Amino acid sequence: MSIVANDLSLHISGFDLLRNIDLTIEAGKVNVLVGPNGAGKSSLLRVLTGEIKPSKGDVLINQQPLNDWSMQDRANILAVLPQHSELNFPFTAAEVVGLGRIPHNTGFAKDQAIIAEALALVDASYLQRRLYTQMSGGEKQRVQLARVLAQIWQPSDLGEQFLVLDEPTAAFDLSHQQLTLSIVKQLADRGVGVLMVLHDLNLAARCADNLVVVNGGTIEASGTPEKVLTKELIHQVFDVQSVIAEHPVAKTPLVIT
Amino acid sequence: MGGHSEPSQIKSIIMDIRLPRLILALLVGAVLAILGAVMQGLFRNPLADPSLIGVSGGASVGTSIVIVAAGGAMLSPLAGLSMVALGAFIGGVITTLVVYRVATSSLGTSVTTMLLAGIAIGAIAGAFNSLLSYFSDNQMLRQISVWQMGNLGGANWQKASLMAALSLIIFSLLPSHAKSLNAFLLGESEARHLGIDVQRIKRQLIFLTALGVGFSVALAGLIGFVGLVIPHMVRLLIGPDHRALLPASALAGASLLLIADSIARVVVLPAELPTGILTALLGAPFFVMLLLKQRGEI
């Protein structure tokens, strides 16, 4: 099963933000979107997750049109982490993560167990009783990550699940970047379809099963990192000269600029 | 007088004057505080308050219009009261919607815009009220100004029972929205991704807020800052989870207004102060304190 975008276009106030995009996000795969600023990555995420209606084309989740899903059912199979959070109220970390359990009726004890496990997974157990408003940017982002993980913690009878992350590693130090990548890989192994925007091409190359390059509102290239990341493409899309080497251990492409 | 009241007089004072006033104070305090908590959740901002963002102002314009339009032709007390409440409700709905529309873009609700819209609406409401006062006769003028200062002195059983009916609606509907309000604090699109029908719940909450604030203004006048201060203090004590915040705010609001009204009643004996003056005197410094604290955080 998958999220499928058919011929998506998005026009807003005279601008073509997306043009004729066909894309398949398969369950059990890590899909990474890269592209320059203003390429349409965030717009694409917002259309794929139903926040904006496309001007043309449609989106199917597990073969059913996005809008045919009831809001509650959709929340059971699709969790979305935006780039910035507006949360400005002094919830504790555990309470924030607990919000991810709203779509479920698993009961208090089960929810508490999931909250604790999700916080532990993102290396934030020590934050459990701390107030969100007093955390650093990286801590807040980890707590938010734990929230969306808690939302799809258990498999759903409604079908394969998907996790959409918009630049999840932006506020993270090196070790938490690595941690995030290992978490999304684990999720993919469990059958969750992951779609995330990353800016760091090397991070993208390390974890992507499917790397999608977005530029000017269209998909410039997609496929395995080995296939997609070429000198020519990077010059064409980012206007940067580079050398493509091979990661000595992981054997993934290494972009050196 | 001099302390030699007949037992029947005492009974009449308690039953006909004190008791309805006490009930009205408790209910208005509870409703304003719980709606303050709802608005702060809805706007995702701890500075939202019915009086601050113009809802009370709009409701007071509605009230004035009805009082002046009814003119000398006073209908039966209950019908007259219902008309005034209706006017306040319509005024409240219109201002809530305007403030919400003006302050909300696709990026969320902007506090600055919200407070500025509140000022604009407050100014319009003030001008309208002045205009109506200008064309009123003495009796209407007195009625309008008493309303604007917020006064529980005119409490009677009719007002108390009308407020009780409204409180019943509000207190039975709001708790079911507590979880959604928690999700709202994350942002509207996040709430949507948690399976919450944001649009529908927003409409319901705005309607209930306008209804509650409108009735409170119609029955007890402009009583400011209860809706701002109370949810804040409660949040400091027990955190922002609306499942606890809503009932606790209602209790605390009821207590505060009862205390404020009792003080207002006895502080300048034999006269009494309008209750709204007292809540504003207590609430405004607290508001400034909040602003200073927020500045520190930013």
What digits encode the pLDDT tens for the residues B32-70?
Answer: 999 999 989 988 888 777 777 778 888 888 887 887 777
pLDDT over 70, % of chain B: 90
Q: Which of A73, A85, A86, A222 is nearest to A165 (CA)?
A: A85
On the 0-12 / 13-18 / 19+ scale of CB atoms within 10 A, B290 is middle
B-interface mutation test, from A3, A42, A71, most B Cβ less than 10 A away: A71
Cα distance between residue B75 and residue A9, in whole Å: 61
Cα distance between residue B156 and residue B153, in whole Å: 9
Contact B193 A49 (CB under 8 A): yes
What's the rounded mean pLDDT across residues A157-172? Answer: 92
Name residue A221's beta-bridge partners: A213
Q: Give the domain range for residue A189.
A: 2-86+157-256
In a domain, A108, yes or no: no
Cα distance between residue A54 and residue A44, in whole Å: 9
Q: Is A28 on the interface with B (CB under 8 A)?
A: no
The domain tally of chain A equals 1
In a domain, A118, yes or no: no
Contact B185 A88 (CB under 8 A): yes
HSE on the CB side for A3, CA within 13 Å? 30
Q: Is A233 on the interface with B (CB under 8 A)?
A: no
Q: Which of B197, B239, B241 is the closest to A71 by Cβ?
A: B197
DSSP character at residue A67: G
In a domain, B72, yes or no: yes
DSSP character at residue A255: E
Q: Assign A12 a pLDDT band (cuts: 50, 70, 90).
A: confident
Q: Assign B77 a pLDDT band (cuts: 50, 70, 90).
A: low
Q: Does the structure show a pLDDT above 90 at B133?
A: no
Whether the CB-CB separation of A127 and A93 falls below 8 Å is answered with yes
In a domain, B21, yes or no: no
In a domain, A135, yes or no: no
CATH for B177: 1.10.3470.10
Q: The whole model's pTM is what?
A: 0.86
If one compares B148 and B214, the residue with the highest pLDDT of the two is: B214
DSSP character at residue B174: G
pLDDT at A119: 96
Q: How far is A78 from chain B (nearest CA, A)?
A: 8
The domain tally of chain B equals 1
What's the rounded mean pLDDT across residues A28-55? Answer: 92
Contact B186 A73 (CB under 8 A): no
pLDDT at B297: 55
What's the rounded mean pLDDT across residues A143-166? Answer: 95
Cα distance between residue B39 and residue B249, in whole Å: 13
Q: How far is A91 from chain B (nearest CA, A)?
A: 6
In a domain, B14, yes or no: no
What's the rounded mean pLDDT across residues A52-64? Answer: 92
pLDDT at B269: 79
Q: Does the structure show a pLDDT above 90 at A85?
A: no
Q: Chain B: residue nearest A152 by CA? A: B194
Residues in chain A: 257
Q: Does the structure show a pLDDT above 70 at B73?
A: no
In a domain, A120, yes or no: no
Helix axes B111-134, B77-103, angle to 10 degrees: 140
Q: Which of A41, A44, A60, A29 is nearest to A190 (CA)?
A: A29
Tell me the C-alpha to C-alpha distance, in Å, between residue A59 and each of A1, A2, A46, B127. Answer: 13, 10, 11, 52
Q: Which chain B residues are closer than 8 Å to A102 by Cβ?
A: 179, 182-183, 194-196
CATH for A225: 3.40.50.300
HSE on the CB side for A92, CA within 13 Å? 15
Q: Which chain B residues are closer than 8 Å to A79 by Cβ?
A: 193
Helix axes A108-121, A137-151, angle to 10 degrees: 130
Q: Does the structure show a pLDDT above 50 at B260?
A: yes
What's the rounded mean pLDDT across residues A230-245? Answer: 92
Q: Assign A208 a pLDDT band (cuts: 50, 70, 90).
A: very high
Render B264-290 in DSSP notation, one character per residue: HHHTTTTS---HHHHHHHHHHHHHHHH
Helix axes B19-42, B226-238, angle to 10 degrees: 70
What's the rounded mean pLDDT across residues A24-44? Answer: 93
Contact B44 A86 (CB under 8 A): yes
Q: Give the domain range for residue B72.
A: 33-297
Contact A78 B46 (CB under 8 A): no
DSSP character at residue B17: I
If one compares B29 and B277, the residue with the highest pLDDT of the two is: B29
Q: Are strands A243-246 and A253-256 parallel, antiparallel or unpaired?
A: antiparallel
pLDDT over 90, % of chain A: 83
Whether the CB-CB separation of A1 and A63 falls below 8 Å is answered with yes
Q: Chain A: residue nearest B45 by CA? A: A88
Range list of H helices, chain A: 41-48, 71-77, 93-99, 108-121, 137-151, 174-190, 201-207, 225-228, 231-238
Amino acid at B49: D
In a domain, A230, yes or no: yes
What digits encode the pLDDT tens for the residues B199-216?
Answer: 888 888 888 888 898 888
Contact A88 B108 (CB under 8 A): no
Tokens 């130090």 map to which residue?
A173
Q: Which chain B residues are closer than 8 Å to A76 by Cβ?
A: 195
Q: Assign B18 a pLDDT band (cuts: 50, 70, 90).
A: confident
Q: Assign B298 a pLDDT band (cuts: 50, 70, 90).
A: very low
Q: Do you find a cis peptide bond into B270, omega within 30 degrees of 0?
A: yes
Q: Chain A: residue nearest B109 by CA? A: A86
Tell me the C-alpha to C-alpha distance, in Å, between residue B164 and each of A25, A27, B20, B204, B256. Answer: 55, 54, 11, 20, 18
If one compares B13 and A239, the residue with the highest pLDDT of the two is: A239
Q: Does the structure show a pLDDT above 80 at B111?
A: no
Q: Which of A9-18, A148-157, B41-50 has the highest mean pLDDT?
A: A148-157
What digits encode the pLDDT tens for the residues A66-79?
Answer: 989 999 999 999 99
Which of B128-143 are b and which e, b meaning 16 or more Cβ less than 10 Å from the residue's Cβ? Answer: bbeebeeebeeebbeb
| ipTM of predicted complex | 0.91
Q: Assign B78 a pLDDT band (cuts: 50, 70, 90).
A: low
Q: Does the structure show a pLDDT above 80 at B3?
A: no
Q: How far is B44 from chain A (nearest CA, A)?
A: 7
Q: Which of A184, A100, A181, A90 is nearest to A147 (CA)?
A: A100
